[in-house]
Structure 1
């Protein structure tokens, strides 16, 4: 479908007007108001997840080597801080006075990082991942379905060598892949065919021009991006990093593009993005993607390393470090989409994982804070941007043959990711109409011309439709 260029555009972030209703209900009420703790300073304070993240950062600095990670207890709305060296009561008292719940653990942060280095040296195998889990005070190692035979034996031996008190090993039913195909859908043409990804967050580049963040593997795959399938480019990649990290800075070609700092949560609701924040294990987060819409879940690990099978070097591996691990589901086409909190903090960009929004799995995200620091960009509108500008109904249809059908996702049964009934996965199409789910092994994310499975009729709860466009002609 052709794309008509008009000088002034209004761009918006968010991957679809349709959301899983359960996730939307959790997102919109803003129920987690901050409360003061008891008068006794030693009593853990009741905190919002964002405040818990800020406190964790402060305590990490204050406790130094005694700090062994932290996590958010969402049931109690408390920050739990791990401390080693129990004889140092002053540190425990300091953490408690700051408002955290404190528990003493065996493994220090340095020891857990040392274990991760051993894994990088001995077990960088395609289809593996590991992350620090502060709730267990261990490194959790995951192997996907491709890790078998000698590779499995090697991985298992390495984990056993670290000791059961330091690392654990589990299997994933899916295959770790990037989610090329994802907030608002963005499209590009490559020699290998069409590619679709998702817009993450609108930002202002260091030179003041309007831009957006998306996944690095999207920016590496193609230089120019459109807001409609087969449309004229509206944005050009300025910086792209993958592997190692997974982020791209893409500048809008029209300097007058209006790019409000918000996420369209669906059903006419938007969430204003006010700041970037580091993820906290245990915190509830929301992901928006052009394939599956709005889903929510929990941060399960930090500083994760994922070893993707290389798409350019047969038998090679593309390793990405420093990622956020979650149980929020995702599928092909969600790459680059926004991970954020209920109070409007930008947290991550969808990278990859295993599974889908039916079977579950693990999904990994590039931290937004690291992407902003590396690119020099800042969150918020660019030149001429009008605050509160809504996403327009850009031509978001299509998205057919997207990267392999086993593309990240992590909604384990019983978790909160999406809370939609099977067959009503807020953008997940029914079998045979996968709107971004591809032929196995097809990593191109090529769109299927004529496939309108991403377009939404009024009241249709499947796909990214009206309100999900990157740009709207004025």
Structure 2
């Protein structure tokens, strides 16, 4: 069992990153103590400002930081640190410091051990900055023997890992936006994009692996696959082959639509909305990043956004967004929109980068 401890380190403050924040207009606080000595509360930040601050502090602090998340109630960025010196740096930059035990290196090492020794269908794991642990979840398909193996590995990792069970079953939601269909089933359109001046749309990779030619809800052919990546990733690119309208917006299923003007990375604690052709529109919160999900049959996907938003078969590929920002593509999860559940999303920014496409 790992001994619990607080690691003492000196914070290395990179002046260039802090200066950039000043130039960007971020309000700094004068702080002489960490959160444990009741330092002045940071000023409220929007989710966009918090994301930028998190990115800059992550680069400046390096291994002295141990994860970040957004507190939607107080509108503050919370930064996990390993010592008082780093806490003062965080507070000076306008964020809330929280001293924790486990470093990112220790959490990464735990994930590596899980990958090597506990790759079991029906499991997922994600680094949770709010608990400062790697949270491992086993669904109802995991057998007693497999659970015993998983428990042994988790116990060996001590305080860095927590094991949970879910009554649901992790599975891709094949059966965002409007319904798109083909000979292999039904999915949902994620976001309209532009590549090389031509119109395309993106959806889940497990959808484009099963279906190559797409039609709309009226049976009219609208597109054919251009690129697909699943497992490992879960995104696909489809080229429009008809003159159907393709505005950069998401169907809200109430007669209106949300305009989408850009793509953005998710932040833990961020409020998000999902649109899909089975269960339409549902809201929730980002609960983890860089999640690994084992859907079974060798279908393991990495780097996913974990949320408490519900979804069901047919919602796959649909849109996850926050305001006018595209955030994710529905991959899979457990539960449903009656009893609740959790859903994982492929980050949109990674898909766009891979495809060389832009929101539009």
TM-score by length of 1: 0.67
* 2:316–2:329 Cα contact (<8 Å) kept: yes
Match for 1:344 among 321, 324, 333?
324
* 2:71–2:78 Cα contact (<8 Å) kept: yes
1:361 to partner: Cα distance: 2.0
Counterpart of 2:221? Answer: 233
1:266 aligns to what SS in structure 2?
A: coil
Counterpart of 1:249? Answer: 237
Q: Check if 1:116 corresponds to 2:111.
A: yes
Q: Check if 1:221 corresponds to 2:224.
A: no
RMSD, aligned α-carbons? 1.6
1:257 to partner: Cα distance: 4.7
Encode CA deviations 1:363-404: one digit per residue, 9 max, x unaligned.
100001111111111111xxxxxxxxxxxxxxxxxxxxxxxx
1:40 to partner: Cα distance: 3.8
- Deviating beyond 3 angstroms after TM superposition, the runs of 4 or more aligned structure 1 residues are 36-43
Encode CA deviations 1:402-449: one digit per residue, 9 max, x unaligned.
xxxxxxxxxxxxxxxxxxxxxxxxxxxxxxxxxxxxxxxxxxxxxxxx
Provide the C-alpha distance between the structure 2 equivalents of 1:110 and 1:352, rounded to a whole number of angstroms: 28
2:340 aligns to what SS in structure 1?
A: coil
Provide the C-alpha distance between the structure 1 equivalents of 2:256 and 2:45, rounded to a whole number of angstroms: 25
Counterpart of 1:138? Answer: 133
Provide the C-alpha distance between the structure 1 equivalents of 2:258 and 2:93, rounded to a whole number of angstroms: 30
Provide the C-alpha distance between the structure 2 equivalents of 1:234 and 1:108, rounded to a whole number of angstroms: 48
1:270 to partner: Cα distance: 2.2
1:305-324 matched pairs, under 5 angstroms:
305-310=292-297, 317-324=298-305
Provide the C-alpha distance between the structure 2 equivalents of 1:270 and 1:46, rounded to a whole number of angstroms: 29
Match for 1:295 among 276, 282, 293?
282
1:41 to partner: Cα distance: 5.1
Counterpart of 1:99? Answer: 94
1:269 to partner: Cα distance: 2.8
* 1:182–1:291 Cα contact (<8 Å) kept: no
1:293 to partner: Cα distance: 0.8
Q: Check if 1:156 corresponds to 2:157.
A: no
* 1:137–1:166 Cα contact (<8 Å) kept: yes
Provide the C-alpha distance between the structure 2 equivalents of 1:257 and 1:147, rounded to a whole number of angstroms: 45
1:251 aligns to what SS in structure 2?
A: strand
Counterpart of 1:275? Answer: 262
Counterpart of 2:36? Answer: none
Provide the C-alpha distance between the structure 2 equivalents of 1:56 and 1:72, rounded to a whole number of angstroms: 9
* 2:176–2:191 Cα contact (<8 Å) kept: no
Which protein, 1 or 2, shows the higher relative CO under an 8 Å CA cutoff with sep ≥ 6?
1
Encode CA deviations 1:172-231: one digit per residue, 9 max, x unaligned.
0011110002611000014xxxx10000111002x22101110000010011101126x2
1:48 to partner: Cα distance: 1.8
* 2:176–2:250 Cα contact (<8 Å) kept: no
1:268 aligns to what SS in structure 2?
A: coil
* 1:226–1:235 Cα contact (<8 Å) kept: yes
Provide the C-alpha distance between the structure 1 equivalents of 2:148 and 2:59, rounded to a whole number of angstroms: 39
Encode CA deviations 1:137-191: one digit per residue, 9 max, x unaligned.
000000000112211111111111110x10000100011110002611000014x
Match for 2:348 among 353, 365, 368?
368
Match for 1:66 among 64, 67, 81?
64
Provide the C-alpha distance between the structure 2 equivalents of 1:285 and 1:202, rounded to a whole number of angstroms: 19
Assess, with a 3 A threshold, how the Cα gap between structure 1 residues 333 and 260 changes in structure 2: closer, same or farther.
same
1:55 to partner: Cα distance: 1.5
Whose helix fraction is larger, Structure 1's or Structure 2's? 2
TM-score by length of 2: 0.87
Provide the C-alpha distance between the structure 2 equivalents of 1:96 and 1:297, rounded to a whole number of angstroms: 29
Whose strand fraction is larger, Structure 1's or Structure 2's? 2
* 2:320–2:329 Cα contact (<8 Å) kept: yes
Provide the C-alpha distance between the structure 1 equivalents of 2:262 and 2:92, rounded to a whole number of angstroms: 27
